[in-house]
Amino acid sequence: MGNSLRCISHNDDDGDGDGELGNRPSKYTLTALPLFTSFDGRTGLLSSFSSSSSRKEKKTKNRRKDHHQRQLIELDADPFISEQALAAALLFHNQHRINGTNSDDNIPITRSASVVYPSPALPKKQRFIRSSSARQRSNTDLFLQPRQLVSQELKMESLETSRFVLVHGGGFGAWCWYKTMTLLEENGFKVDVVDLTGSGVSSFDTNNITSLAQYVKPLTDIFNKLGNEEKVILVGHDFGGACISFVMELFPSKIAKAVFVAAAMLTSGQSSNDLMQQGQIFLYANGKNNPPTSIDLDRTLLRDLMFNQSSSKDVALASVSMRTTPFAPVLEKLSLTDNNYGSIPRFYVKTLEDFAIPVSVQEAMINSNPPQQVFQLKGSDHAPFFSKPQALHMILVEISNIPQKQV
């Protein structure tokens, strides 16, 4: 064989031959095709060639219907040899065309499985779009485009109110609502977020806060500025649930709905003192002989306790932004009435992977003080505005869309 593969091609000559190649005309010619650098040790690569032209003529008469003979090539297991042999078959087919052989068939060429060939004839709309993630989408993964709900489902003018007021929990600040605020505003809602006294960017020392009224003053200031006919949807998280309950008693005519998100939804005479006690560190600004003045959280437990489903970036944000919670407002018992607090429709959002306020505690509050409707966020930790912002957003929009006559 040497360094070339000799392929046998059929000529149109009808001259007789005895199968030997020489000066006599033959029905077969040998075409040398450069192919491999060496065939040493590759015996048996071409096993179907015959040196006798008479035998080939007999086979041609009995078994062939076309004008050229198909060669059976036994390929070595080496994939490199396989691809080279396929290239030889292609060259063999092209040589037929160059020699003017009339062929009614197209020799099929099997392409290597290791090479990807585009399909130009396939319309673009039928081509496969590759996913950017191998993870199968969960039913709780909700994706919204800006103003998608407004354009397809919501009619803002038909809502009782399109304004939200978001109240953070103990240790948090207005910063924790950045995802929820963005999503709501992109869908046409007006959103107010507030830093309660001593929280977020407030410069007030939490150790000097002595009452719940003092703590929630930035929130009551918002309601004092509302017009008589203006209403909002009030949302509270964590200890913010007790804060919005306090405001619900003061401004019932200005609150269309109240939403408790993994929050303290208490009855009259209860306090938030027993709501969450894990990982708490009591601070005594007035000395050990006096009651604690504020509560801090063990920062080493933040991820496992509160942000077990949240991203590392949000955990980092919380770890550098959270502040202490004043202790006096936590101890204060609420005074709630049916005429004020009880007149406002309430909704509760359960967080099912919450280790700070476990589901059992959330359900106990729901059972003792039943809201109009309960929603649940599967896969959410204590901070759904971090771990499940889209799903939380959908719930808030759904609540806003509940007609007043159903409330």
Distance CA 378, CA 357 (A): 15
Q: Are 391 and 380 in contact (CB under 8 A)?
A: yes
Q: Which of 10, 93, 382, 393 is catalytic?
A: 382
Q: Is 327 helix (H, G, I), strand (E, B) or coil?
A: helix
Give the integer Cα–Cα distance in Å for 158 and 323.
Answer: 40
In the numeric block, the tokens 């000395």 are attached to 287
Answer yes or no: 237 catalytic.
Answer: no
| Choice among 10, 354, 381, 393 that is catalytic | 354
* Known catalytic residue at 16: no
What one-character-per-residue DSSP string does 38-80 give?
A: --TT-TTSS-S--S-HHHHHHHHHHH--SSSPPPP-PPPS-HH
Question: Distance (Å, rounded) from C-alpha 70 to C-alpha 312?
Answer: 64
Cα–Cα distance between 137 and 126 in angstroms, integer?
22
Q: Is 34 strand, coil or helix?
A: strand
| d(C-alpha 336, C-alpha 285), whole Å | 31
- Per-residue 3-state assignment (H helix, E strand, C coil) for 273-319: CCCCCCCEEEECCCCCCCCCCEEEECHHHHHHHCCCCCCHHHHHHHH
How many other C-beta atoms lie within 10 A of the C-beta of residue 24? 10
Which regions of 145-240 does DSSP assign to beta strands (E)? 163-167, 190-194, 232-238
Among residues 195, 238, 314, 381, the one annotated as catalytic is 238
Segment holding 31, helix H or strand E: strand 28-34
Q: How far apart are CA 333 and CA 384, in angstroms?
A: 27
Q: Is 168 a catalytic residue?
A: no
| Residues contacting residue 320 through CB under 8 Å, at least 6 positions apart | none
d(CA 229, CA 161) in angstroms, rounded, equals: 10
Q: Residue 187: name the closest of 216, 159, 162, 221 by CA.
A: 162
Residue with tokens 């006559």: 405
Catalytic residues: 238, 354, 382
